[in-house]
Structure 1
Amino acid sequence: MTPSELRAFCLEFNDAAEEFPFGPETSVFKVAGKLFALSALDGEPLTVNLKCEPEMAVQLRAEHPAIVPGWHMNKRHWNTVTVGQLPDRLVRELIEDSYDLVVAGLPKAVRLRLDRA
């Protein structure tokens, strides 16, 4: 997965937006104002921070050396994923899971609006 493919995939989700609160080098992908993915798209190697269920985060880290506790994030809930070292399908699933976890924590009215979009 290339940086442009990563960016495009993150922006495919309902109400997804890209912001740059930490400077122009760090893309922050949000849904309804809440972070679900963070990446320095020009980084080498390409990595992305993604939210994850705590139990699943531990399991993924044990199975994949390319998945580590989230850099500069709550390490219980966030992983840093090295994109090029994992199958694209898995990276896409992890991004979608992160988006879904964030959406699940949104107020009901916002979730209903997203379901209709």
Structure 2
Amino acid sequence: MDMTELLDHCNRKKGVEETFPFNEETLVLKVGGKMFMLIPLEKQPLTISVKTDPEWSEELRERHPQITGAYHMSKTHWNTVVCEGLKRDLILKLVDASYDLVFSSLTKAKREEVMNS
């Protein structure tokens, strides 16, 4: 999986915005104004940080050495994923789960706003 394919997948989702709130090397994808994925653009191989359910996070970290607690984030809820060596389907599942977790945490009004955008 490459960056273009990853961003295309994300940008097909409702209300996704690409931002650079921290620095010009870290792309942050948001829905409803809340982060659901970070991508350090300078890092090779492709690496992302995504929000995951805490129980699933433990399982993922045990099964995949490419998945660790996210640097500078809550390691209970965020994982850093080195995409190299992982199946495309797992990467997309992680991105989708992160988007869904963040979207579901939005207020009803904000969710409706995103869906109508």
**What TM-score range do you get, normalising by the shorter chain?**
over 0.9
2:49–2:79 Cα contact (<8 Å) kept:
yes
Q: Give 4+ residue runs of structure 1 displaced > 4 Å after superposition.
A: none
SS class of match (1:28): strand
Between the aligned partners of 2:11 and 2:84, the Cα distance in structure 1 is 19
Between the aligned partners of 2:71 and 2:5, the Cα distance in structure 1 is 22
Could you tell me how far 1:116 is from its partner in structure 2? 4.7
Query: What's the counterpart of residue 21 of structure 1?
Result: 21
Matched, 1:56 2:64: no
Query: What is the CA deviation profile of residues 9-40 of structure 1, one whole-angstrom value per residue up to 9, with x for unaligned ones?
Result: 22221000000112221100000110000011
1:16–1:30 Cα contact (<8 Å) kept:
yes
Query: What's the counterpart of residue 74 of structure 2?
Result: 74
1:49–1:70 Cα contact (<8 Å) kept:
yes
1:3–1:42 Cα contact (<8 Å) kept:
no
Give percent identity, aligned residues only: 42
Query: What's the counterpart of residue 112 of structure 2?
Result: 112
Between the aligned partners of 1:90 and 1:116, the Cα distance in structure 2 is 29
Could you tell me how far 1:42 is from its partner in structure 2? 3.5
SS class of match (2:57): helix
TM-score (norm 1): 0.93
SS class of match (2:91): helix
SS class of match (2:84): helix
Structure 2 unaligned spans of 5+:
none
| RCO higher in structure (CA 8 A, sep ≥6) | 2
* Amino acid aligned to 1:86: L
SS class of match (2:49): strand
Query: What's the counterpart of residue 8 of structure 1?
Result: 8
1:45–1:84 Cα contact (<8 Å) kept:
yes
